[in-house]
């Protein structure tokens, strides 16, 4: 089930971030990367946890029939207004929402890990149900080793401050945001981190197999520089490509 912190956190994050920054080139590059990772032509795609809908908008403009599923109403409305009718956008809970069709590709970028292992298993089973028989899913997984190493690091994002912590008991990244004018009003997201072996085991239970692994980047807080691609054991998150088994 969806945790109580989820909607307040993403609503505040949306409020505090600059929505007028032009990121079109970056999202176009991201869309190209998605197509490469899928590895074959596809027609229909579902993006869950779609946020502002930037990825869906770019892919829709490139001829992909895009559907998004997002929990926060303000984000859904923002995405709808910007998509010029090219994207079908639903507002709902990933764990209970029923969709009328299946998809060539299902994606969950930058957000997997909300709740318990049982919650992740349920979500993976949902993703499996949303996939066509020969479809695939792309899912970003937070890598525990990186978040252990950056515990306590702070940074600013537009109007907000944020600090990272790592909870060893739950093996979770804790990402806390606040506005400098109201430091008492803090919101925190908690995202379970998984080693490749752990996520592979969960996928297997859900009837999925990992067929591709794509390491992401990492922030070097000593040099204050972001590296776009690093080794699997150094990245802040990695992407897995999964397909149905059986």
pTM confidence score: 0.96
pLDDT at 1: 53
- Burial of 28 from C-beta contacts in 10 A (0-12 / 13-18 / 19+): middle
pLDDT at 23: 78
Instruction: Report yes or no on 104 lying in a domain.
Output: yes
pLDDT at 223: 93
Give the number of domains in the chain: 1
39: CATH: 3.40.50.150
Instruction: Report yes or no on 65 lying in a domain.
Output: yes
Using alpha carbons, select from 49, 56, 37, 55 the residue that is nearest to residue 240.
37
Range of the domain at 52: 6-142+195-217+237-244
Residues of the chain with pLDDT under 70: 1-2, 21
Instruction: Report yes or no on 230 lying in a domain.
Output: no
- Which are the contacts of 112, defined by CB distance < 8 A and separation ≥ 6? 120, 123, 139, 140, 141, 142, 191
Judge contact between 87 and 56, C-beta under 8 A: yes
Does an H or E element contain 35, and which? helix 24-38
Instruction: Report yes or no on 50 lying in a domain.
Output: yes
Instruction: Report yes or no on 113 lying in a domain.
Output: yes
Q: In whole angstroms, how far apart are CA 112 and each of 43, 117, 140, 211, 233?
A: 24, 11, 6, 18, 18
Instruction: Report yes or no on 88 lying in a domain.
Output: yes
Using alpha carbons, select from 244, 200, 205, 245 the residue that is nearest to residue 104.
244
pLDDT at 103: 98
List, for residues 205-241, the tens digit of each pLDDT value. 999 999 999 999 999 999 999 999 999 999 999 999 9
Strands 154-157, 160-167: pairing is: antiparallel
Instruction: Report yes or no on 71 lying in a domain.
Output: yes
Instruction: Report yes or no on 156 lying in a domain.
Output: no
pLDDT at 19: 76
Extract the tokens encoding 109: 């970028």
């Amino acid at each position: 089930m969806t945790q109580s912190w989820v909607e307040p956190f993403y609503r505040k994050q949306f409020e505090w971030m600059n929505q007028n920054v032009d990121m079109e080139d970056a999202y176009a590059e991201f869309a190209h990367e998605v197509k490469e990772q899928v590895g074959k032509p596809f027609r229909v795609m579902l993006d869950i946890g779609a946020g502002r809908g930037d990825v869906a908008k770019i892919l829709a403009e490139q001829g992909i029939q895009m559907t998004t599923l997002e929990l926060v109403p303000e984000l859904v409305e923002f995405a709808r207004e910007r998509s010029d009718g090219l994207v079908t956008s639903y507002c709902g809970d990933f764990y209970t929402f029923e969709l009328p069709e299946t998809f060539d590709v299902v994606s969950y970028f930058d957000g997997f890990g909300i709740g318990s292992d049982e919650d992740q298993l349920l979500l993976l089973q949902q993703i499996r149900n949303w996939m066509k028989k020969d479809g695939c899913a792309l899912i970003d997984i937070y890598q525990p080793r990186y978040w252990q190493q950056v515990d306590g690091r702070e940074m600013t994002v537009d109007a907000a401050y944020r600090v990272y912590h790592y909870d060893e008991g739950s093996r979770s990244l804790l990402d806390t945001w606040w506005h400098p004018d109201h430091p008492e009003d803090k919101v925190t997201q908690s995202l379970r981190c998984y080693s490749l072996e752990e996520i592979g085991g969960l996928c297997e239970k859900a009837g999925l197999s990992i067929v591709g692994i794509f390491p992401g980047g990492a922030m070097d807080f000593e040099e204050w520089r972001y590296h776009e691609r690093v080794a699997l054991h150094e990245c802040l998150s990695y992407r897995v490509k999964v397909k149905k088994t059986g």
